[in-house]
Amino acid sequence: MIAETDPTTKATAVSIQKVNKWYGSLHVLRDVDLDVAAGERVVICGPSGSGKSTLIRCINNLEEHQQGKIVVDGIQVDHNIAHLDAIRREVGMVFQSFNLFPHLTVLENCTLAPMLVRGVARPDAEAQARAYLERVRIPDQANKFPGQLSGGQQQRVAIARALCMKPKIMLFDEPTSALDPEMVKEVLDTMVSLAKDGMTMICVTHEMGFAREVADRVVFMDHGQIVESGSPHSVFGQPRTDRLKLFLGQVLREH
């Protein structure tokens, strides 16, 4: 169990205010409000198509929101390229499908962005990459190519690659959904250890155990809206809406 962080005493890492987004006529985000404090761990869950992935992809502008305001680490997400550069330097992201660069070795995957974006010298970037690979417990795979690793190993490399940019905030977009069941644990363990170090994390995941263990707050989304939000204990223990009850019933049956 991790001690709860009191959001009021900490700086705001991500502030989302009245955000709306449409895909054509499909309204995918409806007036979403969400504040995440520095050091806070937020888990977002909800049925597929509820807009949870879209929401976190709006944070680093992989998707554009059309209305409302998103401020990340004090910088507004808008059409200013300098703002987007600054935000992406501070926000790491881990994808469902890993998205490692298949033509680069594990080590090169981890050193490319620090060298190109942060201007870190190669020896330093490599030392740092090796340190993070050690952290995700795959130091001996540094010179292999992603295609030579298992899914779980690839996802841990993806986490190390994001960490090499020394981000202040980490976004996880269903990081274990594409994994074989026996590999889910190794990835979750890595994420738990990251949470214990105080990283600000926003995770889209259905892993209830992970949410209970590390989340300061669980946010339940449905049809582009935040329906319920609160501590894992209250959200999972005393669901107030029928939509959440239905969702929990489905997820618990699966697991």
Partner 1 sequence: MTALNNDIQAHNRRATMLGSFVSNVAVRRFIWQALAALALFGSVFWLAANLHHNLAARNIASGFGFLTREAGLPIAEHLIAYTPADSYFRALLVGTLNTLSVAFWSIILATILGTAIGVARTSKNWLLAKLSSIYVDLFRDVPLLLQLFLWYTILQKLPPVRQALNPVAGVFLSNRGLSFPVVDWQAAHGWTLLAFVLCLLATTLYAKRASRKQLEEGRAKSFWPVAIILLVIIPLVVGFSLGASTNLDMPQPKGFNIRGGVTVSPEFFALLVGLVIYNAAFIAEIVRSGLESVGRGQHEAARALGLHPKNILTWIVFPQALRVIVPPLTSQYLNVTKGSSLAVAIGYQDIVSVATTSMNQTGQSIELVGVIMGVYLTISLSISLLMNIYNARVALVER
Q: Which residues are at the interface with partner 1 (CB under 8 A)?
A: 60, 62, 85, 88-89, 91-93, 95, 97, 99-103, 112-113, 115-125, 145, 147-148, 158, 161-162, 165
For the CB of residue 40, give the shortest distance to partner 1 in the complex, in Å. Answer: 20
Nearer Cβ to partner 1, position 98 or 220?
98
For the CB of residue 222, give the shortest distance to partner 1 in the complex, in Å. Answer: 25
Contact status, residue 181 vs residue 150, Cβ threshold 8 Å:
no
For the CB of residue 151, give the shortest distance to partner 1 in the complex, in Å. Answer: 13
Give CA–CA dist 187/176, Å, rounded: 7
- The helix/strand/coil state of 218 is strand
Q: Cα 62 to chain center, whole Å?
A: 13
Nearer Cβ to partner 1, position 6 or 23?
23
Fill in the DSSP letter of residue 147.
G
Contact status, residue 38 vs residue 13, Cβ threshold 8 Å:
yes
122's CB contacts (< 8 A; 6+ apart) are 111, 115
Residue 63 corresponds to which amino acid?
A: E
For the CB of residue 119, give the shortest distance to partner 1 in the complex, in Å. Answer: 4
Nearer Cβ to partner 1, position 24 or 119?
119
183: tokens are 């590999």
Closest CA to 5 of 243, 200, 254: 200
Nearer Cβ to partner 1, position 92 or 175?
92
Nearer Cβ to partner 1, position 87 or 235?
87
For the CB of residue 238, give the shortest distance to partner 1 in the complex, in Å. Answer: 36
